Amino acid sequence: MKKEQLIKLADKYSKNNCTTAEKEAVELFFQKLQKKGKDLTIDLSVEKRDELFLKITTEINSSNFRVRKLFYKVSKIAAVAVLFISIPLVTIFYGIGKNETINQMTAKSEIKNILLPDGSQVILNSNSSISYSENFKQNRKLKLTGEAFFKVVKNPKQPFVVETSQFKTKVLGTSFNVKAYPSTINIVSVVTGKVEVSSKENSAYKSILIKNQRLSCNNLEVAQLSIDDAKDFNAWTKNILIFQNSSLKETALTLENQFNVTILFEKRELEDLRITGKFKEENLNNILNSIALVKQLEIQFLTKNKIYVREKE
């Protein structure tokens, strides 16, 4: 945003000619500067600066007490803020004063390694997303859709919380996996340490998990605790797919995300068939052929990315 545009906006504010959105933007802008303690650079004379600031404070004096108090606290900042050259217009109107959220996401067949501001590590599986606030070090909470493996830096004063549509998982320092794709059973699996899982629907429900334990749940109304090998919980991060009594519907979802395909079934009954198997760095054709052989199915590629599954004739 150019200096002249900022000056024009400040002048409009002082004359009460701003739109509601512009007025809110100016107030939020100065509030954000106060919070961050910005020291802005100017290149105009002190006389010109004071003249512009007088126009602003005239409007402030006629505003409500809360706004006046805010602007008096930041008077020195405000005096130079109207001359700040490098802040883009989009930042002023859409970013300043808001609780900024950082979003990280992956497409199908993509896996992303993410380093969070507190030093914790996230491996985000395909077709997944996380979001967290800009001040994550002071507020270690994030939201997850899809699947991710977390390796959390220990900080007893700031618990690390992963929130999905169904539950919250709270830890101090550990490594664990959360699988929470929409419309599927959600699973929390602990590789090291200890986590606490609580229901978003039922505040009375809490479960403590330790290494080798996993909790499978559907809104935590029906929760199943099991013990498995912790090495398998994040096998997908090593390009290993493990299916343990998984329905073909669940298996298809995993393969769709892993290989960026769409899998259709001839009958609903086929979706309920269950398989168990481990595939290490296998291509899609080999996996599908193995499933077809065991379950007496036929696999047909309608297009490169669309697959049709039916009973073998």
- Whether the per-residue pLDDT at 14 is higher than 90: the answer is no
- Residue span(s) of the chain under CATH 3.55.50.30 come to 239-311
pLDDT in tens, 50-69: 554 555 545 445 444 444 44
pLDDT in tens, 245-258: 999 999 999 999 99
Residue 201: band (very low, low, confident or very high) from pLDDT cuts 50, 70, 90: confident
Nearest Cα neighbor of 52 from 28, 83, 88 is 83
Mean pLDDT (the chain) is 79
Residue 290: band (very low, low, confident or very high) from pLDDT cuts 50, 70, 90: very high
Residue 113: what residue type? Answer: N
pLDDT in tens, 109-136: 999 999 999 999 999 999 999 999 999 9
- Residue span(s) of the chain under CATH 2.60.120.1440 come to 101-233
Beta-ladder partners of 262:
306
Whole-angstrom distance, CA of residue 293 vs CA of residue 298: 8
The DSSP call for residue 214 is E
pLDDT at residue number 41: 42
The β-bridge relationship of strands 160-163 and 141-151 is: parallel
% the chain with pLDDT above 90: 54
- Whether the per-residue pLDDT at 200 is higher than 60: the answer is yes
Highest CATH level, class, for 239-311: alpha beta
pLDDT at residue number 73: 43
pLDDT at residue number 29: 61
CATH 2.60.120.1440: does it fit domain 101-233?
yes
Whole-angstrom distance, CA of residue 243 vs CA of residue 254: 10
The β-bridge relationship of strands 262-265 and 306-311 is: parallel
